[in-house]
Each structure stands twice: as structure tokens, then as C-alpha cells.
Copies of this chain bind each other. A is one copy, B any other.
């Protein structure tokens, strides 16, 4: 089966700048992929702050447990990522694979294993053949620094394009790379995302910003409602340059939002990028639940794939969310077109106009549920034949 590239893939990739205090390396350990980098190593200067958000899955991988411990230790010296095997649900052997990999990196760069993060992505249930990584580490390190594009490639799996973004805030830089395409749902949504900056910011401040912004970005996208066992978002700040905290926060939000949108746009089989905005809910949490119920509904997603102005399915999804909604005050807009209000089709509803709107590649659905002031926005993609092809045939 041929996997088609997402129509949202960029024509070319941006060249991300170096970050003062961070050296990046990539290489091939042939864990699953043979002719491309599948190992990414970031080595961090002393005094680098770090923060992280990890999957809430009860069947999280051994690497996730390791990262949580590293995060507590508070001293980040390196990050190791491999693709091709998630080392999740791999028992004692899986734990050993993390420990051995971390010790190998520690020996390589002269630090302690407890100050290194590790993430693995790929098939679940097979212990990571860590010797493939540890035997190659020295060579990868000595081959010299890699490009950010190589780094983004090394962490990717079924992605049809690489997710990278960078911004400048005065002197400082924020780089981000992410991977993710299927098994995408909040808690966390990304599978893997990494943020690197030379800004001076404490681990506590970075963690607070990361957790807050995460709710409106990576935790507000969904592809298929499924949650990975390895989802991780980690940020590193090398503390090289002073920055205004609010300006930094705004920049961080821009990078995270951009990467989150890229992940939804590369949702398996995606042909449409959809923004769902819910207003008038009991509170913001209820609004998000309604928005995600719409965004996860197979019937809504297939209607959009078919460019069918079937707004009745949006009504259905609101109804099943379990959150308070006033049927007879409900209003729905597709883009700027009012399709329903006061519990029925809008008098101005013009199916031809709405059908024309559905042909757009980027769509917006706005729903007001008529109860209170809660609001939320989430992003998702449509559900197409290509999703079935990828997931019925692909052994992840």
C-alpha cells in the first residue's frame, strides 16, 4: 500500500538555527528503519532547565517512567530518542533497555544516567533491542552535529512530513520539533515533541508555562481519539540569554501551537484540517469535552471527508457528549454560514452555499450550546479511506 503524503505537507522545510548550549546528533541504528536516521541525541550544556508533560496512559512505556524521574532530579544533560520501537509493554527487559541506553549516553558524555531523558516511539510490546543503539552511539556522536531536519526525521514514524518550527524573540531562539500522525489524542496529543531554547528561564517557570500552554495546544488536537503509550513533550532552556518572561511565554505558545497544528494536519489519511470552536457551555472544561466529542465523532469526520454539509451529525455529537446543552438554543455555523439556530435549521440555511464551503481544505465549525460562558477550541482532521489503509495494513 502506498501512503499518500498529507496535502498539508510544506513545500520545503525551514532551516532551524543553532541553539547556544545544545549540540544535536542523529544516526541510524537500524531498529526498524534502515536508510534514515532513527536515533536522535541532544547534548545539553550544564545549567540547562527542563520541563515535561507525559502521557497519562495507564500502560505507559518504561521510558516515560524514566523521564518522570529525570524531571524530578531537575538536572538535564541530554535527551535520547529512538523511532521504530516504543519499548512499551515490554516488562523487565524494557526497563533494562532504558537503563542500559541511559548508562551508555552517560558514559559517552561524562554525566549520570539520572540526568538524561529518553523517549521511544514505534511498535508496542517488543523489548527495545538497545544494543543496536548503544553500539552505534559512539559513532553517531563522533560523526558531528546534525541538522534539525535530521533530528525531526530521526524521531518520525508514519509521519508524512517533518514537523519543525522556530521563532526568534529578540536575541533568543525557540526551536521545536515534533512527530505524530496516528494514535493521536489528548493526554498527550503529540506522541513526541521537543522544544529547545537558549533563553534564561527556570525549570519551575518553564514547567508551569509548558503545562498551561499544553492544554490549549497539544492537548487540544485529536486525530483518532486513541492515546499513545509514549506521548511526551519536553522543553529545554540553556539559560544563555535573558528574556522577558511574558514575551517568552507568547513565543513558546506560538511554537507549540504551530507544531500541534502540524500534527493534526498530518493525521493519518487527513485531507481536511478542522477547527472546532464551542461557546456557551457550562464552563471551559465542558466546552472542550463537547468540542472533542465533535472532533472525535467518526460520523462527523467521515461527513467532512465526503464534503457533505451534514450538520445533523454535529447536533448528534453535541448530544452524546454528556455535557449540558440546550437543544432549543443550540446554534451551529460552518465557517461564516449559519446552518442551525434555536434548535432547528436556520431560516437562512442554503445547502448549496454550505456544500461549496465544505470543499475548502481548512474548515471551521462553531457551535454555541446556549447554556453558559464556557468556551474551547480544538483541531482535528477528517477520517478517510487512507486512515483505514494505513491502520489495517500497517503493523505499527
Residues of chain A having any CB pair with chain B under 8 Å: 55-60, 88-94, 123-127, 182-183, 185, 187, 224-229, 296-299, 302-303, 305-306, 308, 310-313, 315-325, 327-328, 330, 340, 342-345, 383-385, 387-389, 391-393, 395-396
Contacts and interface: CB of A to CB of B under 8 A. Distances in A.
Nearest to A127: B344
A306 B391 contact: yes
Contacts of A395: 308, 310
Contacts of A391: 298-299, 302-303, 306
A89 B383 CA distance: 25
Given A60-B327, A385-B388, 18 more contacts: A57-B319, A58-B324, A58-B325, A59-B316, A59-B327, A60-B319, A89-B327, A89-B345, A91-B328, A93-B344, A125-B312, A125-B344, A125-B345, A224-B299, A225-B298, A229-B316, A302-B392, A306-B393
Contact of A318 (B59, B93, B187, B384): B59
Contacts of A296: 225
- How many monomers of this chain does the complex have? 2
A330 B89 CA distance: 9
Nearest to A342: B91
Which of A57, A59, A127, A308 has the most CB atoms of chain B within a 10 A radius of its CB? Answer: A59
B305 A392 contact: yes
Chain A interface helix/strand/loop/mixed: loop
A391 B305 CA distance: 9
Contacts of A94: 344
Contacts of A60: 319, 327
Contacts of A393: 306, 308
Which of A90, A229, A392 has the most CB atoms of chain B within a 10 A radius of its CB? Answer: A392
In the A-B complex, the 7 residue pairs with the closest CB atoms: A124-B312, A91-B344, A59-B319, A306-B392, A57-B319, A227-B320, A302-B391
A334 to B, nearest CB: 13
Contacts of A57: 316, 319-320
A394 to B, nearest CB: 8
Contact of A89 (B89, B93, B182, B312): B312
Contacts of A297: 225-226
Which of A124, A225, A228, A342 has the most CB atoms of chain B within a 10 A radius of its CB? Answer: A124
